[in-house]
Amino acid sequence: MSTPPSTRRLPWDVLAVAPFAIFAVMFLFLPTLSLVVAAFTDRAGNFTLQNILDLGTGQIVAAYWISIRISGASAILGAIIGLAITLAIIRGRLPAGLRSAVMTFSGVASNFAGVPLAFAFISTLGRLGLVTIVLKTVFGFDLYRSGFNLLSFWGLTLTYLYFQIPLMVLIIAPAVDGLKKEWSEAAQMLGASQWQFWRYIGLPILWPSFLGTLSLLFANAFGAIATAWALTGSNLNIVTVLLYNQIRGDALQNPGLGAALALGMIVITSCANIIYLVIAHRAERWMK
């Protein structure tokens, strides 16, 4: 007497992950694959390497370089300021309710970008912005005559800091929470000062998390396009604006070159994200 064949059923956890897998394939892997194909295709639809070779031209190299500099500057400044704020609200003697307020604001501000953020900074620090007018009329200080320009390297870096600092606060907070009070108390019992505790214990423990978050902030700034386009337009030759001109522009339209530019950005941001994942994994193992 033969037994009926057993039917294999998919476990519930696989079915639960299925929506995420479908989402990732539709909005991550398929668009990336189409970019790869377009980067090696000419206007006639034939295979070509010219789009990749054109990435070595002077204008494109300069665009990548200034984008890397802006991303690096905003990431470093955002990481340092964000770490200082996090240490103040978690390890400092500030009111307990201030932490929840700062974390709530950070969650909102880290996602505030694009045209609204650009308009907010133009209204605040533009040539006719509120802060610019107040400094000039009340204090007699002309912000723009001093050399500042919102539509410049440091102007865009300052704008990026608005969402870089809150993002740093959100990501580094668990690592700061992982610093046990027993370590500080043990160091004090052994005669160590606060400076010695942070020099030899606190900062070395936070260093891997700091470096990992730094790479994530770099990738976050490097891929930003809406804020830079709405704020500077074509005044600043960054790679995201150049990519937009190649895909949507009239005179410079070259979709193949635009896809190659996007592919180069994917490679750079992927390297930054891989660095973050590796360092974050090691930091998590260390905190355990």
CATH code at position 255: 1.10.3720.10
Asked whether residue 7 is domain-assigned, the answer is no
162 and 198 together in one domain: yes
Q: Is 235 contained in some domain? A: yes
Same domain, 42 and 136: no
pLDDT tens per residue, range 96-131: 788 889 999 999 999 888 889 999 999 999 999 999
**pTM given for the model:** 0.85
In this structure, is residue 36 part of a structural domain?
yes
3, part of any domain: no
The boundaries of the domain holding residue 134 are 58-287
* 24 in the same domain as 96: no
Q: Among the residues of the chain, which ranges form H helices?
A: 12-24, 30-39, 50-53, 58-90, 96-109, 115-125, 130-137, 153-177, 181-189, 194-197, 203-222, 226-232, 239-248, 255-287
Which DSSP state fits 54? G
Cβ atoms of 47 and 60 closer than 8 Å: no
Domain count of the fold of the chain: 2
Are 272 and 244 within one domain? yes
| The one-letter amino acid at 141 | F
Per-residue pLDDT at 62: 92
Identify whether residues 30 and 164 lie together within a single domain: no
What are the tens digits of pLDDT across the range 132-189?
999 999 999 999 999 899 988 999 999 999 999 999 999 999 989 888 878 888 888 8
